[in-house]
Amino acid sequence: MEATPELLPELLQVFASNPFYVSLTEGPDGYDLPKLQRDWEVAATTPGRHMWAICRKPDGAAVGMVDFLDENPSDHVPWIGLLIIRGDLQGQGYGTEALQALLDHFRRDRGWTTVRIGVIASNTAALAWWQRRGFQPIGTVHRRLPAGECEIVRLERRLDTAALPRRAP
């Protein structure tokens, strides 16, 4: 579901429950509601950029967030900017289920055949997670984030292939 201003405090809790990720991206200043509101406003006013809340059924609680671009201006390919799940719920299948639904939407409703994501190289757990879901490295770039200079691994997934591998028991 589209992220709304009313959901932002709940979505901020998703970030607060992921201190390692926040430290990698934001540095010692962290991530707070004004920064999330700024990012939401950018997404809401940038054509082709989307910020969606990932909500649990049946209670509707926000358990994560996804941000994606219909077309990255640097390479004209769709990109997932972020998929993040509340830290206390990781490893329970929410991320895999959300990603599968997102990729199905991209393929079925948008007609995309490829999607990319960038993962901070030192976030080895996230890098391995994306690779287990069929995303293959296609190169690296260096970027300056609020936390400082970092190496980003660019990953790509073809969407005209079979469904995502199922989560192991």
Confidence at residue 166, expressed as pLDDT on a 0 to 100 scale:
47
Confidence at residue 152, expressed as pLDDT on a 0 to 100 scale:
96
**What gap in Å lies between CA 117 and CA 46, rounded to an integer?**
18
Residues 78-115 have pLDDT tens digits of: 999 999 999 999 999 999 999 999 999 999 999 899 99
Q: What structural domains and CATH numbers belong to the chain?
A: 5-158 (3.40.630.30)
**22 and 86 Cβ atoms separated by less than 8 Å:** no
Confidence at residue 67, expressed as pLDDT on a 0 to 100 scale:
95
Token couple for 11: 């979505």
Shortest CA distance to 133 belongs to which of 167, 102, 82? 167
pTM: 0.88
